[in-house]
Amino acid sequence: MSSTHEGTFEGLRAQLQEAAASFADGPDALEGILLGIVDDVDHAVREPLEIFPVCHHSPASAIAMARRLREKQPKVVYLELCEDMAPLLTELRNCKLPVAVQSFATEVDGFPAEWSPLSVVAPITEASAEYQAIAYALDTPGVELVLVDRSSDHVFQWDARGTETAEPADPDAPPVEEEAALHGDAVGVEIGDLRPRFAELEEHLLRHGKVRHWSEWWHQYVELPLGDSDHDTYRQVMLLIGSLFRRLAPGDPHRVRVDEDRERHMWTRMREHLAATGADPADCLYVCGAFHAASRVAEFGVHGTDTFEISPPSATTWQHGLIPSSHAAIEAQFGLAAGSVSIAATMWAKNVRRTRVEPYRLAGQAGTKKSRARKAAADPVPDLPPSDKLTGFLRQPPALDRLDEAELLGWSVEIVRAARRNGYLASTADAIAVFETSILLAGMRDRARPTPYDFQDAAVTCIEKDTVPGRRDVRRLVEIMMGGDRVGQVGYDALPPLARDVHDRLAPLGLKLQQGGVQRALLDIASQPELERCSDVLWMLRHLMPQGAARPIMGERKLGERPIQESWDLALGTYQRALIELGYEGVSIEQVLEQCLRRTAYDRRATAATVLEAVEDATLYLRSRRLAEELGTHALEVLSAERSVDGAPEVLRRVRRLLAYYRTSEPVLPPWIESFVKAGYAHYCTLLPTAFTDDDATVRQVAAMLGFLFSMESLALSLGCDRTQLELAVVQSHPEESSKTALLWAAQVQLGRLSREDLRARCDELLSNPLVVPAYPRYLSGFLYALDPVPGLTDFVVEAVSNAFGRLPDPVLLPWLPTLITTLRSGGAELAPLLIREAGRTFPGRLAALDTWVPPWRARPEPEAAHPTGHAAGGHGCTLLAAHPATCDAVASLLGCEGTWETADSGPAGVALTGRHPDTAVALEALLAGA
């Protein structure tokens, strides 16, 4: 073989050696680089197993791949793709491209926990050479497809996240939109990555190529020249580019080491397969990136060494599936310019029409035209010794394509129409300006025919000017016009079991959930009770998926309530990736939700409030008493370990809600909530004195503690708690802050240690002291928060506010009035309705009555007169009964009682009762005598 190809590139070597000597004034490193590039090409061309170099999402590579597959008809196709993704490729026929093959792991074993979840994606578009190879291998009988790249587990084994530094954002990166985030933070597998890793080299190429970014340089100087080239020319040029970038810009040492390990891995796998199957290397084709095709590792080739040892995978369990992708997602993940993948898709369609090459498409592929009747397979073309195509390609002048005026004019008219729809004041004159400017820019950049990038620059210059009236700028409008951001879709049959189950359970809604966009779902559960199951699924999806996937418009889910009518906005087709990744975590949505609640509750940073929220969600969405009891018991443990009161308001709110639910739906309270109330009572009693004096504890948190203690007191005492513990905690509390002092006074009133008269006297004393008046709003803030634990003080708070407004002069009142208003708004918004209702009951309803109105707290009751018989007038209720005897007579008649009414001076009724039933009095007398 070596003798056959000996001397193929001797002429090119001689010319490059002469050029190096002329430019460098003698042999030096330049000669070594140039001759080394030719040696790399010669080395790859002489390999018995044909190497087909490609560039990711390159239309020229796809056309060359389709042409070569029809000519060579290989029996084995080795593809640079993660070897564990092979079983998924058959599901591509059930999808609408572009999609991405994904490996996903939620629980890691052998990797740092902060890396979780792990995700690896490999996007596939129709205008990519690897899709042509996959479609050929899967639909051609007798052809075997073998993936030879490292596994998804090895992607992270060879990763070095801790040593990598963040790269600056690319100014030409596509906008961050929904489609651009379809891959999330997944690691992308770069198939055919051809981009200089040497910043100065890329800058040099862009400057001398008169282009703005790398995608435009590739389109101008590689895509267009190779679009119509023959196989040998394409192959040698791609090998030349790969070797050039490899030798001039080795890049980061770690990345170079990973690249070489990948090449060793791939050649090791190919030799293993050849040895196991006995396949002839002449009948095989190796599809890889041009960067890896020009490799110089010792393991290169079918006759390479077998010294590379592949490490075993970690214990991490990987899930595999297909997720929707988009042009914007591919551009964002691989650092391409905005719109470059859409332009590549347009170029692919043009190349197919121009070259008349019949591309390969998977049978039944969604989103593609139905294939015509299959032609008879052409006879394989014999492999002839390759000739030197590089010399002619490098010496030929650039092809000058004729200006297609009709195409450029159509672009100009269409962009003006799109600009008008988006708010621009564009006219026919702008279309003419765009047309002429595109030609002018192409001429300035030494192009006979304007490229889509020239047209984009011209449209921005002539239409956008200095303002963007709408949501999209002109650059984005050109991208949409050139083909737009095509979003792929995974078919129903290729979805994981959970996703299919969700679609089946939502089928009664009658919606096309696979479609993109937002759809409105109306659920009349009262007339169609079977829709309640759909409601359950939707609420679980709302909890697990991003906010826009399932958004309730009408209806809510609360403990103890049954839904009647609901309205939802659903976008499951848009958020298909999130739904698919849920399928990696379980086989049903209930199982995934339970796992999610467990992770939340048992997280090391979880608080008691967080765990109680998980308990409530388990009861609300899953109706699982078993899970609620388990998480509730864990909430008790978390609460006992807390040493701060930060979550007290949330704990109080959720415990009250759960108690109300269990008291109305269960015959007895669950044991866990009784234990929680008992432990919480002792816990907050212990923390109360410290919280009153702690500057980090807010008045809202201390009020929530008191609210828990006072509202749960009856239940806690019935469970064996001691009220003395609360009284001692209040006695030991000595706050210094004004609001907490007022809160403490309210607690003392609730416990009976402070009367209302004393509390009123203290407030009057505060208003009488000029030094304390500026702090009076903070006292009112404390009283306001006290309405939650001591709601009986609502009338007193109204009295305190009214006294302040009535007694203080305007020079004193107005300075702290804004503080009072902001305090009420920020801290007591939920308690303000209590004050408003109480004020409505206290103050007169008409303005005319205000002049003669006397506040209740100022009206002193008259001293009660002594009863003529010497008894206190405490039995005036008998007078009311005597005045209206009809009601009592009716009740007596209903009960079958007979009797007459006694007069007021007939003596106490208790004496007559004792005379009728003397046995009780005799027994009491005997008991007292014995004592």
Q: Convert the pLDDT of each residue in 768-791 to its tens digit.
A: 888 888 888 888 888 888 888 998
Q: Which amino acid belongs to residue 827?
A: G
Q: Are 221 and 53 in contact (CB under 8 A)?
A: no
Q: Are 121 and 147 in contact (CB under 8 A)?
A: no
Cα separations (Å) of 623 from 593, 615, 662, 665? 12, 10, 12, 12
Answer yes or no: is pLDDT of 409 > 80.
Answer: yes
Res. 158 pLDDT band, cuts 50 70 90:
confident
**Which tokens in the block code for residue 665?**
């739906």
Res. 5 pLDDT band, cuts 50 70 90:
very low
11 vs 735, which has greater pLDDT? 735
- Angle, CA 788 vertex, CA 784 and CA 794 arms, to 5°: 55
Strand ordering across the sheet containing 187-188 = 187-188, 118-124, 99-105, 319-324
Q: Are 300 and 93 in contact (CB under 8 A)?
A: no
Cα separations (Å) of 169 from 173, 216, 333, 337? 7, 18, 12, 12
pLDDT tens for 296-331 read: 888 888 888 888 888 888 888 888 888 888 888 888
Residues contacting 497, CB < 8 A, separation 6+: 583, 587, 588
Cα separations (Å) of 486 from 125, 218, 482, 573? 10, 21, 11, 14
- Secondary structure element (H or E) that encloses residue 148, with its range: strand 144-149
Residues contacting 733, CB < 8 A, separation 6+: 688, 689, 692, 693, 744, 747
β-pairing, 118-124 vs 99-105, is antiparallel
Answer yes or no: is pLDDT of 174 > 80.
Answer: no
242 vs 871, which has greater pLDDT? 242
Q: Which long-range contacts (CB under 8 A, 24 or more apart) does 3-12 make?
A: 4/385, 5/42, 5/45, 5/46, 5/385, 5/386, 8/42, 8/45, 8/385, 8/386, 8/387, 8/388, 9/38, 9/41, 9/42, 9/388, 9/390, 11/388, 11/391, 12/38, 12/388, 12/390, 12/391, 12/394
Cα within 13 Å of Cα(88), Cβ side: 25
Separation of alpha carbons 168 and 175, rounded Å: 15
Q: Which amino acid belongs to residue 264?
A: R
Answer yes or no: is pLDDT of 175 > 80.
Answer: no
Return the number of other C-beta atoms located less than 10 Å from residue 552's C-beta: 16
Tell me which residue of 14, 393, 454 sits closest to 228, measured CA to CA: 393
Beta strand segments in 721-816, E: none
Separation of alpha carbons 23 and 2, rounded Å: 32
Answer yes or no: is pLDDT of 829 > 70.
Answer: no
Residue 547 confidence (pLDDT): 87
Answer yes or no: is pLDDT of 247 > 80.
Answer: no
811 vs 598, which has greater pLDDT? 598
Separation of alpha carbons 878 and 564, rounded Å: 50
**66-80, 431-445, 671-685, 734-748: the lowest-pLDDT one:** 431-445
Answer yes or no: is pLDDT of 418 > 50.
Answer: yes
Max Cα-Cα span within the chain: 140
Three-state SS at 134: helix
Three-state SS at 715: helix
Separation of alpha carbons 456 and 335, rounded Å: 19
Q: Is 521 left (phi over 0), alpha (psi -120 to 50) or beta?
A: beta
Q: What would the DSSP string read from start to end of 101-119? A: EEEEESS-SSS-GGGPSEE
Helices 10-24 + 29-45 axis angle, to 10? 160
Residue 639 confidence (pLDDT): 93
Residues contacting 850, CB < 8 A, separation 6+: 843, 844
Answer yes or no: is pLDDT of 29 > 70.
Answer: no
Res. 163 pLDDT band, cuts 50 70 90:
very low
Q: Which amino acid belongs to residue 103?
A: S
- Give mean pLDDT, residues 503-532: 90
pLDDT tens for 607-632 read: 999 999 999 999 999 998 999 999 99
Answer yes or no: is pLDDT of 373 > 50.
Answer: no
pTM score of the predicted model: 0.71
Residue 258 confidence (pLDDT): 83
pLDDT tens for 91-146 read: 888 888 888 888 888 888 888 877 878 888 888 888 888 899 999 999 999 999 99
What is the DSSP code (8-state) at residue 851? Answer: S
Which of 163-167, 465-469, 905-909 has the highest average model confidence (pLDDT)?
465-469
Break the chain down into helix, strand, coil percent, rounded to 5.
55, 10, 35
Share of the chain above pLDDT 70, in %: 81
Separation of alpha carbons 450 and 439, rounded Å: 6
Alpha carbon 182 to chain centroid, angstroms: 11
Answer yes or no: is pLDDT of 533 > 70.
Answer: yes
Separation of alpha carbons 373 and 358, rounded Å: 12
**Which tokens in the block code for residue 366?**
């969604």
Residue 20 confidence (pLDDT): 45
Residue 396 confidence (pLDDT): 62
Q: What would the DSSP string read from start to end of 802-820? A: HHHHHHS-HHHHHHHHHHH
Residue 873 confidence (pLDDT): 43
Average pLDDT, the chain: 81
Residue 600 confidence (pLDDT): 92
Cα within 13 Å of Cα(520), Cβ side: 4
pLDDT tens for 835-882 read: 778 888 888 878 778 777 887 777 655 544 444 444 444 445 566 776
**Which tokens in the block code for residue 225?**
């020249």
Three-state SS at 825: helix
Separation of alpha carbons 546 and 538, rounded Å: 12
Locate all alpha helices (DSSP H) within 58-212, ordered by sequence. Answer: 59-72, 129-139, 152-157, 199-209
Separation of alpha carbons 353 and 72, rounded Å: 22
**Which tokens in the block code for residue 329?**
């997602």
Separation of alpha carbons 921 and 910, rounded Å: 12
Separation of alpha carbons 561 and 557, rounded Å: 7
Share of the chain above pLDDT 90, in %: 25
Separation of alpha carbons 516 and 907, rounded Å: 87
Q: Are 197 and 14 in contact (CB under 8 A)?
A: no
Separation of alpha carbons 326 and 333, rounded Å: 11
Separation of alpha carbons 296 and 7, rounded Å: 20
Res. 344 pLDDT band, cuts 50 70 90:
confident
Answer yes or no: is pLDDT of 194 > 60.
Answer: no
Cα within 13 Å of Cα(157), Cβ side: 16
Residue 386 confidence (pLDDT): 61
Answer yes or no: is pLDDT of 826 > 60.
Answer: yes
Tell me which residue of 164, 517, 179, 104 sits closest to 331, measured CA to CA: 179
**Which tokens in the block code for residue 298?**
């010792």
Separation of alpha carbons 224 and 399, rounded Å: 9
396 vs 506, which has greater pLDDT? 506
Buried (b) or exposed (e) across 28-45, using 16+ Cβ within 10 A?
eeebeebbbbbbbbbbbb
Q: What sign results for the dihedral spanned by CA atoms 380, 384, 282, 194?
A: negative
In angstroms, how far is the first alpha carbon of the chain from the final one? Answer: 125
Residue 776 confidence (pLDDT): 83
Residue 815 confidence (pLDDT): 78
